[in-house]
Amino acid sequence: MRKKRKRGGPIACSCSSPAAAPSLESRRAAWTGMGRAAPFCAAARAEQERRCCRRPSSPLPAVAVFFSLGLLLHAGDCQLQTPCRIQKCTTDFVSLTAHLNSAIDGFDLEFCKALRAYSACTYRNSKVCRGNLVYHSAVLGISDLMSQRNCSKDGPTSSTNPEVTHDPCNYNGRHGARDHRGGEQTPPTYLFCGLFGDPHLRTFRDHFQTCKVEGAWPLIDNNYLSVQVTNVPVVPGSSATATNKITIIFKSYQDCTDQKVYQAVTDDLPAAFVDGTTSGGDGDTKSLRIVERVSGRYVEMHAKYIGTTVFVRQLGRYLTLAIRMPEELVMAYEESQDLQLCVNGCPTSERIDNSGHLPLPVMAQALTHGASSQTRNMYTLENASTKCHEKMLVKDIYFHSCVFDLLTTGDANFTAAAHSALQDVEALHPRKERWHIFPSSGYIGQGNGLSLSLGLVCFMLVVFL
């Protein structure tokens, strides 16, 4: 009696001629009723017969044997399995949130939308991913993040298809749609520029300079935005200046906004543009708006249509500015617009620092009138360092700038200005590893002990004689 072959066992090689091949009716009967997986089973059997009947010139490699066995086992099961796509869900979530900044207004709304989209994606894959540890970790992580951000389970979700949600007045949406058409999605590159103190400039390329630049100077002047600052001397006899006026022009862009001008001067930091409005653009979601954080002291401007954020503060008698802007828009300017401090830094003739070193400003204090020198708070290098270290624990370029400003002006408000400038970097600068800049060696007259001693001697002679 012929024994029945067990299901899933090896298939005997039959290298008969084409004439001995089974008829179409018998082949149809062999897979009729086996469901949608039957064609795969037939393909597997054909692949096995092809491999068995072929006469190789050399022994079959082991890997081919394992491949054939795998086909047989799969053919025996006759089931197709949909792959777990949790990695795609995670990649989409990262793409939706890569450009977000927790310090920017509206972060929670966009982050929650992305989380809900992530959650919906994991739900669609719940059956095929039920044995996947990465999937279960993602589900728990989503739940934790939604609790931390107080996100509701019901609500709008971010779309992973930028073509569907393309908003011409949303820079991130336009950028994403363009990348999607190009077949590759990459978040936009953002740059940071800041100005504070006497004044200290951090350019879009993270170069740090201390400049004179007395009078009106352009920080930014491109096709989308213009920023101009006016600086005045802070101490008689010193070349150091500080900012007492800032003018910002948001240029008109398509139907997103008309031209808007913002102007701040000492003791007048308005929460509106010069035309009295607080926003630009139509609809509930404004493409440009002003947010007042501290009345008369701190305002933010959010220009969604150009992906730009501006912080303006008043500390003491002077103003500070910090800006974050997409690189491609920063570089969109004509050849005639090349005088931009944020782009190219200060002209050499306007630099106070010399190759990264600031002169000790004791002579500037010595040259002031006797009456003012008695009333103004005087700092030595040691107690100025102590004062700045109270606010800034890391002795980076912001710490050293604080010390220089205290020695130059004797005004403790410059300590707050340096500290706030560092906070603005942490809020707006896209790369955390570049937040702190460290001077290569002694920054304030510390590289030459003889000149420091002579300076102090001269200062004492002027004061007491």
How confident is the model over 62-80, as pLDDT tens digits? 434 333 434 433 444 444 4
* Closest residue by Cα to residue 298 from 274, 338, 257, 269: 269
User: What pLDDT does 83 receive?
Assistant: 85
The CB density around residue 347, as the number of other CB atoms within 10 Å, is 13
**pLDDT level of residue 358 (50, 70, 90 thresholds):** confident
* Closest residue by Cα to residue 422 from 403, 405, 398, 440: 398
Report, as an integer, the average pLDDT of 425-449.
78
How confident is the model over 278-303, as pLDDT tens digits? 998 876 668 999 999 999 999 999 99
Alpha-helix residue ranges (DSSP H) falling in 149-215? 171-182
User: What pLDDT does 459 receive?
Assistant: 42
**pLDDT level of residue 404 (50, 70, 90 thresholds):** very high
* Closest residue by Cα to residue 208 from 435, 360, 423: 435
Question: How does DSSP classify residue 161?
Answer: -
Choose between 238 and 366: higher pLDDT: 238
Q: Is the pLDDT of residue 410 over 70?
A: yes
* Closest residue by Cα to residue 341 from 443, 190, 241, 195: 195
Cβ-based burial of 411 (10 A; exposed 0-12, middle 13-18, buried ≥19): buried
How confident is the model over 449-464, as pLDDT tens digits? 434 443 444 444 333 4
Backbone φ and ψ of 256, nearest 5° = -80, -40
User: What pLDDT does 246 receive?
Assistant: 98
Q: Is the pLDDT of residue 28 over 50?
A: no
Q: How would you classify residue 57: left for phi > 0, otherwise alpha for psi between -120 and 50, otherwise beta?
A: alpha
Report, as an integer, the average pLDDT of 367-375.
40
Q: Is the pLDDT of residue 254 over 70?
A: yes
Q: Is the pLDDT of residue 262 over 90?
A: yes
Write down how long the chain is: 465
Choose between 355 and 313: higher pLDDT: 313
